Amino acid sequence: MIRHIVFFTVPDRANLEDVRSGLSILTAIPHARLLEIGTNVKTDQLGTEVDIVVYGEFDDEAALAAYKAHPNYQRSIDRVRPLREMRIAADYETTVAIREPF
């Protein structure tokens, strides 16, 4: 399984909901096992720069590539890129599934 995590900063707080809405377009792409868009609650005293996080799980690299090739991916980029500043992405392979809460 591939985990895909992307961090965004939004310099103008007035645009935060527009960025979140633009990233939410990604949730309609069918290739992800799980895809979440979250606003950083900024409880970590050393890590408050990030405003929004995209977290996705994909069966394999082919599923991640299909996700990025989907037209909604480009639609999201077109809406979000002019409003965000930093974008940092990381993908990693894992065999550990996230446990459901009890």
- Strand runs (DSSP E) across the chain, as ranges? 2-8, 34-39, 52-58, 87-93
- Per DSSP, 97 falls in state P
Residue 101: predicted pLDDT:
62
Q: Which of 14-28, 37-51, 57-71, 74-88 has the lowest mean pLDDT?
A: 37-51
pLDDT tier at 98 (50, 70, 90 boundaries)? low
Q: What is the chain's mean pLDDT, rounded? A: 94
Residue 45: predicted pLDDT:
87
Residue 100: predicted pLDDT:
61
> Helix, strand or coil for residue 62?
helix
Contact, 51 vs 16, CB < 8 A? yes
Give the DSSP H/E element, type plus range, for residue 73. helix 71-80
Q: Where are the domains of the chain?
A: 1-40+48-91
> Helix, strand or coil for residue 64?
helix
Fold of 1-40+48-91: Alpha-Beta Plaits (3.30.70)
